[in-house]
Structure 1
Amino acid sequence: MTHQSDIDPPRGMTRRQSLGTLGAGAAAVLAAPAAFAQEGPPPPSTVTTPPRSFAPDAPPNVYFRDPDVLTVDPAFDALAQGNAPIRRLWTGGLWLEGPAWNAVGQYLLFSDIPNNRQMRWLQDDGHVSVMRLPSNNSNGNSFDSKGRQLTCEHLTRRVVRYELDGTVSIVADRYDGKRFNSPNDVVEHRDGSVWFTDPPYGGQLYEGTPDAPGGPSNPEGRINNRIGQPPEIGEAKREMPHGVYRVAPDGAVTRMIEETQVEDPNGLCFSPDFDRLYVASTGKGPGDTGAGGKGEIFVFDVAPDGAVSNGRLFSDCMVDGVKCAPDGLRCDVFGNLWASSNAGRVVGYSGVTCWAPDGRLLGRVRLPEVCGNICFGGPKRNVLFMAASQSIYALPTATQGAGYS
């Protein structure tokens, strides 16, 4: 995921604005409400005096349930783990994305898109180091059933796979002879096909590079898109509408979902039995001429042969009148959908939302930063990892993530 569209003020703001506003000192604005925060309606914000700290050496904050894990529907109580705190594992990125858990290596991989690097957090001692630099402004990552890393690259407008022997394979870089916009998030289907979204968010200086002069994100050519980039990047222009794609095991690429069905598709995931595909529609991106996404989640039925049908709105992601715009998506083994939340300036609504398969909001996890993407991991795959703007957070749960990462 990348850019959240402009949310109507004063309820929200663009992700770019939120990054500037909720930056390094963002932890200072998150609250520690009363001990039993589940009693009564959730407070409108999480600001307290003194402010809550999420640092590793922070004072204890858990009174059986972390006060920033909120039950909306009683069914959420079976998913939320008592006496488990939200922890900030690391901070120091610019816009963190694409968390993916490697079960063999016992590490969390994530992208720091503007810094053009992939990072790795180790389970054993919490050490964080650079795993790959440069990363071609990588965004979404996942691991397939064979343990190989799949990565979406903004800069090169392609999806790649890191093979077990150390080589890199191009999964897809064109459709019908045209370059992709900027692949964003990627997952594997159990039939071995690779599915990914292709919005235009990489067409900007911060997270990739604008189009060559005359392209939709650089129509007047005032930005020199060659500065700081390999020479082969210089001629790339946006050539296609948004889309969701499937790469068959034999390499054939098919556009499964059109821009007319989902604008600005971002995060995606399958239900545990692979009969549903969830797609987040974020906000208007660079070069878009249409209305752009509206911060919603759509769901499609998936046939055994991979065909999708019956696309429909799953949730408008409105919570207490606040737009909790989604980005990254993951299902747990019970079929509940967990979605990152960008509420901009509305402190207390950014973080993660959890939805039942029928679209009911079950609960929320509040973070002091806009959350871009999520995954389940840890030794038992029950830890919710959250890539939130500049920091990585973790929360043990009472459920497990479906799939491989």
Structure 2
Amino acid sequence: MRQILLLTIGMFTLGFDAYVIAGLLPDIGKTLRISTSQTGQAVSVFTLCYALAAPIFATLLSGKSIRRILVWALAVFSLGNGASAIASSFTMLLIARAVAGIGAGLYSPLAATAAASLVSKKKRGRALGMMLGGMSTGTVVGVPLGLIIAEHLDWHATLWFITVLGLVAMFGIMIWFPSFPALAPPSLRQRVAMIANGRIAAIISITFLTSTASLGLYTYTASILQNVADIQFITPYLWAWGIGGVVGSFSIGALIDRTGRPDILMIGILATMAFAMFSLPFGLKLPSLSYLSFILWGAMGWASQTPQQHALLQLHPNHGAASVALNSSANYLGSAVGSALFGFAMLAGLTPSQLPFAAGCLVLVTLLGQWGIISSNKKYRKYAKRKNNHLDL
């Protein structure tokens, strides 16, 4: 479907921008004469603004034309990237990345909701998988391309290229995307109740912890590779991570539609992610296994989002945009916290080679939390069944 493809192109551009920065951090640090932990905050500010923008704009702009919102989102996103390309100081770069993050935070959850609205319920998992697949393809294709551009020109040229891609996606949606209104937002009381709902809060908490570990660790990939195995050419490893992401994000939707159990799938995703992180420092020292950990890590990290979105849409079908926006906020807030947390950990004396172990431990904690959600859901279903049987009598 053309409409889904247009949304996917926009997500591709967002993925390109969000994940190429990790590979550009060493060059940005040299240009602006700042440390690795400082340059990592360029990722944190982008993801933090994304996290804050998603729920705010999902509320303010609900009822407006989704096409118009998506166009404005990509315009703001492109403006932020253009400003990033001309940044001559660290402060200017942080402000520009904040603007780009606001545009991304406005676009991503609405694109996912629009995709789910354009297909039948039976195909919703595949549609959501396409959205994340577009973003993960931005990593597997865009990140290596962006690093090649930076190598032959500089990191400014990479950001200019992303700006152009954002404008292309913007004009495509402006011309060919249908115009229909976003769903009316829940009231303030309903929104507070949504956050206070234990089942929704639990799902969002798992998303937050997963992205804190996965995306926070990804920010310092270059430092980890250099510290563990003195690897200077990081592009193949980012490529392996992105390839895994494409496989994971495109395949998880079909698995959800087939099994109907996104909560159980999350158990396998988190267990595999923990294994990948714990094995990463050892795998880098074995040429035959050096890329396997990155492939598994990328696949599980990207696959983790679709089950969460699907579960939230099942709980709140009438307020899909708001619930997906909350989940997107948790995802990017986790990335911001993870980037900052691991940066502070290195300032406190933790070496980059130790970061994968710290992230793996956090994933194990998240796995226990997901298991608790499944147990709680079983008890809830048994209670609801007994109650219904009682009412029937």
What's the TM-score, normalizing by structure 1? Answer: 0.23
Q: Greater share of strand residues, 1 or 2?
A: 1
What's the TM-score, normalizing by structure 2? Answer: 0.24
Higher relative contact order, chain-length normalized (CA < 8 Å, sep 6+): 2
Q: Greater share of helix residues, 1 or 2?
A: 2
